[in-house]
Amino acid sequence: MKRFLIGNSIFASLATALLLALVSCTGHTAAQSAATPRLVELLPIELDPRNPEKRGFGRLEFLQGFQLRSRDPRFGGLSGLSIGTDGKLYSVSDRGYWVSAQMTFDPEGRLIDLTDWEIQPIRSTTGAPVAKPLYDAEALARAPDGSFLVAFEQVHRIWRYAPPPATFGSLPVPLPVPAELAKAPANGGLESVTVLPDGRILAITEEFANPDRSFKGWLLEDGRFAELSYLPSDGFEASDCAALKSGDVIVLERRYVPFGILFARLKLIKAKNIRPGAKLVGEELLQLQYPLEVDNFEGLAVQEDPIKGTTIYLVSDDNYYPFQRTLLLQFRLAPAGN
Name the nearest CA neighbour of 231 among 246, 200, 253, 249. 253
Distance CA 247, CA 229 (A): 17
CA angle 152, 158, 163 (to 5 degrees): 110
Hey, is 25 helix, strand or coil?
A: helix
Whether 200 maps to a domain, the answer reads yes
Distance CA 184, CA 203 (A): 13
Phi-psi region of 206 (alpha: psi -120 to 50; beta: other; left: phi over 0): alpha
Distance of CA 46 to the CA centre of its chain: 19
pLDDT digits (tens, 9 = 90+) for 227-260: 999 999 999 999 999 999 999 999 999 987 665 6
Indicate whether 37 pLDDT > 90.
Answer: no
CATH number, domain at 106? 2.115.10
Whether 227 maps to a domain, the answer reads yes
Confidence of residue 334 (pLDDT cuts 50, 70, 90): confident
pLDDT digits (tens, 9 = 90+) for 21-36: 333 333 433 333 334 5
pLDDT digits (tens, 9 = 90+) for 48-76: 999 999 999 989 999 999 999 999 999 99
Full residue range of the structural domain in which residue 74 is found: 10-333
Whether 3 maps to a domain, the answer reads no
Whether 190 maps to a domain, the answer reads yes
Whether 5 maps to a domain, the answer reads no
pLDDT at 52: 92
Other beta carbons less than 10 A from residue 334's beta carbon: 15
For residue 16, the surrounding DSSP H or E stretch is: helix 10-25
pLDDT digits (tens, 9 = 90+) for 259-298: 567 899 999 999 999 999 999 999 999 999 989 999 999 9
The residues near 8 (Cβ < 8 Å, ≥ 6 apart) are: 261, 262, 290, 291, 294
Q: What is the pTM assigned to this prediction?
A: 0.89
State the average pLDDT for the chain.
89
Distance CA 300, CA 141 (A): 10
Look at the chain and report how many structural domains it folds into.
1
Break the chain down into helix, strand, coil percent, rounded to 5.
10, 45, 45
Whether 324 maps to a domain, the answer reads yes
**Half-sphere CA count of 107, side-chain side, radius 13 A:** 0
Whether 4 maps to a domain, the answer reads no
Whether 314 maps to a domain, the answer reads yes
